[in-house]
């Protein structure tokens, strides 16, 4: 039961975390507006979905300070932020223009696919945690990791079906062999596992830090109590 309740501790109520999280949400919304002008509706919907699940905790609690850790939101928003004109311009000027091999590495299929699915996995992680907190569904951290992996694989499957339907009815290019599709599923599973394991380690570290802080507070309180008793006894 303690581990189940601890999942809810991912929701912070600290001013710095809230400010950083709200800044990320604002940037994601601006990125969604940019994608609208570019005509990329898929990334527009994804950016709006990330923003929507990010603002669910403060809307539910009616406190703007109640937000997920900004690191989790940043992980989910990274591909969206990377598509903004400002970030693309900086990357082009500072890295890609001087290091062509970096461009080849970043554009490689394993890297680009895994990066995109890491974002999907982070989005799935947010959804899983919010399901735990706001619904009767209760998950241990280990089962939450497994759920993130399964949801990421499911997202890869849905995306493959969407592209296949687009190929049938719109005439887009879509590979028909199974090998590339299976490799993409492997990438999505690896991304989900990476995000899940990272979440598990992050969660355990935060829980350990919180318990240490609580123990320190209890020790200080106990020392103050003993000192107070001694002073009262002397009087």
Q: Where are the alpha helices (DSSP H) in the chain?
A: 2-7, 15-38, 41-61, 70-82, 85-91, 100-107, 109-134, 141-169, 178-234
Tokens 């527009």 correspond to what residue?
Answer: 44
Angstrom distance (rounded) from CA 99 to CA 108: 15
Which residue from 79, 76, 52, 55 is spatially nearest to 67, judged by alpha carbons? 55
Angstrom distance (rounded) from CA 43 to CA 97: 25
Angstrom distance (rounded) from CA 86 to CA 22: 19
Phi-psi region of 27 (alpha: psi -120 to 50; beta: other; left: phi over 0): alpha
From first to last of its 235 residues, what are the pLDDT tens digits of the chain?
Answer: 444 445 555 555 578 888 888 999 998 898 888 888 878 777 788 888 889 988 988 888 888 888 877 877 887 787 777 766 554 554 454 455 555 554 454 444 444 556 667 777 778 878 877 777 667 777 777 777 788 778 877 777 777 777 777 777 776 665 556 566 667 777 777 777 776 677 666 666 655 554 554 445 455 455 555 554 555 555 5
CA separation, residue 70 to residues 18, 165, 200 (Å): 8, 36, 16
pLDDT at 14: 75
pLDDT at 203: 62
Query: What is the model's pTM?
Result: 0.61
């Amino acid at each position: 039961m303690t581990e189940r309740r601890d999942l809810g501790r991912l929701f912070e109520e600290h001013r710095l975390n809230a400010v950083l999280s709200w800044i990320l949400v604002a940037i994601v919304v601006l990125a969604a507006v940019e994608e609208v002008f570019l005509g990329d509706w898929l990334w527009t919907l994804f950016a709006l979905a990330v923003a929507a699940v990010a603002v669910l905790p403060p809307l539910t609690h009616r406190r703007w300070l109640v937000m997920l850790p900004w690191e989790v939101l940043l992980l989910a928003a990274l591909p969206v932020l990377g598509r903004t004109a400002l970030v693309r311009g900086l990357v082009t000027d500072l890295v890609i223009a001087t290091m062509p091999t970096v461009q080849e590495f970043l554009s490689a299929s394993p890297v680009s696919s895994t990066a995109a699915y890491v974002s999907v996995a982070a989005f799935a992680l947010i959804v899983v945690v919010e399901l735990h907190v706001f619904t009767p569904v209760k998950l241990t951290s280990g089962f939450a990791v497994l759920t993130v992996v399964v949801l990421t694989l499911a997202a890869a499957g849905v995306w493959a079906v969407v592209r296949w339907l687009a190929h049938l009815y719109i005439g887009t290019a879509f590979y028909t062999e199974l090998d590339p599709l299976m490799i993409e599923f492997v990438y999505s599973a690896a991304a989900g596992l990476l995000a899940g394991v990272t979440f598990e380690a992050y969660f355990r570290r935060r829980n350990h830090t919180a318990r240490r802080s609580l123990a320190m507070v209890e020790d200080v309180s106990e020392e103050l109590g003993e000192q107070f008793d001694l002073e009262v006894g002397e009087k």
